[in-house]
Chains A and B, each alone.
Chain A
Amino acid sequence: MECRDIINTFAPCLSDTLGVSTDLANFLSITLGVLIVATFPLLVTILLIWVERKFAARVQDRIGPNRVGPFGLFQPFADVIKLLGKEDITPAGADKWIYNASPVVMVMAVLLIWAVIPLTPVHVGVDLEIGALYFVAVASIGTLSVIMAGWASNNKYALLGSFRVVAQLISYEVPLALALLVPVMLAGSMSMVGIVEAQTGMWFVFMVPVSAFLFFISSQAETGRAPFDLLEAESELVAGFNIEYSGMKFAMFFAGEFMHVFTNGVLMAVLFTGGYIGPFVDQIPLLGLVYLLAKASIWYLLSLLMRNALPRVRIDQLMLFNWLFLVPVSIINLILVAFLMFVIRELGLQPDDPRDFVQNIPQTVVLLLGNVALLIGTLTVIRNRFRAERLAEQSTMLPAQAGD
């Protein structure tokens, strides 16, 4: 047996050339694959810390880290060395096991998502048939970590912070999953590779921009960063659920957060902008990784801009925004897309070859028009409601001018 395509035929190669038993070879192959897939996001995170700080600095008219290494690129390493030397304080009365497990669970929750993300056409951790459902299930583990940290810290600020975050995270999971249903419906598959392959002809972001918007906003809220960083709320909660953490455990919470933001970018790329799809990917599969990271970076920079440019919302506004805006819109959006898909099928606008760009245009136009109509409708409802509220407020405040 030839051992050229080493990644996909690692197990047979190993058992053939070294005479290892097949079961052991399979196990080694799986373990190696897991290590590669899990280490990759952690390595990217080291770079992300630098990008994050530099970007925030530029927005705030500063230079940012520029002393350690060229352009301050080695700053993250300096940070890690500093954090390694910090004393690890466990507060008296903390529930030690849960307290120590919490930062590990935080990072783990994000890492597990990467198991199903297709990096290139041939390199994917594992192409589960229920990849989308697996993502929804695994993404909830992060909430657990927050409860663990808040409850085990034996600190009232931490507890209050974690209550709020849990309310926020579980609330925003609803529009997240409802928006995720739409690409699943269009692709007719829950597998991440299936969803990417279905976008060969046309990216889903052009067909269902409203779903992309809903997914992006709610995934941004899931990371708990500005403008949704109620868990930090320095002015009211000191630092939120991670107040009692120091040293490397504190760093792990932030590593998890940075990684989560980038993972959201990657998910946006996979679900809505075609993942690894791009020119010449069929010939050179590794180009797919470049395309995926490029697309993910655009979404990532957009969320950085959102974080740095928008002010924090209040907790009651946050919950109202979710339950009275995002959830109803995502429900209507789901029904609308289902209806339009039915109309497309009845009118025979489906492409004969889904991989062809031109044949995809008719159904894209129908879906896009539906989405634009939904957008205009939603904006009109919001405008009328707030105008009525404003007028009512004016009439109570200025009764003398009512007849003018």
Chain B
Amino acid sequence: MNVLSEWAFIGVFFVLAPILPAVPILLGGVLSPKKPNAIKQATYECGVETVGDTWVQFKVQYYIYGLVFLIFDVEMVFLFPWAVAYGQLDFFAFAAGVLFIFLLSDALVYAWKKNALEWA
């Protein structure tokens, strides 16, 4: 199989994969009873009326987790090619890889020392 038809498979998969779970949902939509009323559609918060807007601002903590995650996720993209070729590389490549990991671990240690990773 050439590269193009490999990715054609993934493309067709991306188109067909949402259809498979959508079919039972649509079937349920057709078969199930539909008797909506205002009370039934009210927000489910234990019988208490919702106070204020639902789409609230969120804690800055989540943002920090997002940032630290981003650092490591980008790191991973660079490490995968290194890992694949590792078997054929010399000591310099090993040292370079370790240096790269250390530089990024630095960020983790910094976040740790700043107590950014604690759930406050």
The SS class assigned to the B binding surface is: helix
Contact A133–B13 (Cβ < 8 Å): no
Chain B residues with CB under 8 Å of A100's CB are: 25
| Chain B residues whose C-beta falls within 8 Å of the C-beta of A182 in the assembled complex | 83
A151 at interface by CB-CB < 8 Å: yes
Residues 27 to 47 of chain B near chain A (Cβ within 8 Å): 27-29, 31-36, 38, 40-46
In the assembled complex, the Cα of A243 lies from the Cα of B1 at a distance in Å of 45
List 14 A-B residue pairs with CB atoms under 8 Å apart, sorted by A's residue number.
A27-B8, A38-B16, A39-B20, A86-B32, A91-B41, A104-B21, A156-B45, A166-B62, A167-B62, A185-B86, A188-B86, A251-B24, A319-B117, A334-B79
A166 to B58 Cα, complex, angstroms: 12
Contact across chains for A111 and B94 when beta carbons are under 8 A apart: no
Contact (Cβ within 8 A) B86 A338: yes
User: B100 to nearest A CB, angstroms?
Assistant: 11
Q: Does A21 contact B (CB under 8 A)?
A: no
Contact with B along A256-270 (1 / 0, CB 8 A): 100000000000000
Stretch of A168-176, A216-224, A374-382 lying at the B interface: A168-176
Task: Give the top 8 A-B pairs by smallest Cβ distance, nearest first.
Answer: A248-B28, A316-B119, A107-B21, A185-B83, A188-B87, A126-B9, A323-B117, A170-B69
Contacts of A132 in B (CB 8 A): 80
Q: Is the interface of A mostly helix, strand, loop or mixed?
A: helix
Name the CB-closest residue of A to B15.
A34
- A255 contacts the other chain (CB 8 A): yes
What mask results when residues 82 to 120 of chain B are scored 1 for a CB within 8 Å of chain A, else 0?
A: 011111100100100110010001001001100001110
**Number of residues of chain B lying within 8 A (CB) of chain A:** 70
For residue A24, give the distance in angstroms from its CB to the closest CB of chain B: 13
Q: How far, in whole Å, are A100 and B22 apart by their CA atoms in the complex?
A: 9
State whether A156 touches B54 (Cβ < 8 A): yes
A247: Cβ under 8 A from any B Cβ? yes
Query: Would A93 and B43 be within 8 Å (CB), given that A88-B29, A163-B62 are in contact?
Result: yes
B76: contacting residue among A136, A171, A316, CB under 8 A: A136
Cα–Cα, bound, A167→B116 (Å): 13
- Contact status B38-A92, CB under 8 Å: yes
Query: B46 touches which one: A35, A238, A251 (CB < 8 A)?
Result: A238
Neighbouring A residues of B32 by C-beta, 8 Å: 84-88, 247-248
Which residue on chain B has the smallest CB distance to residue A315? B119
Residues in chain B near residue A126, CB distance under 8 A: 1, 6, 9-10
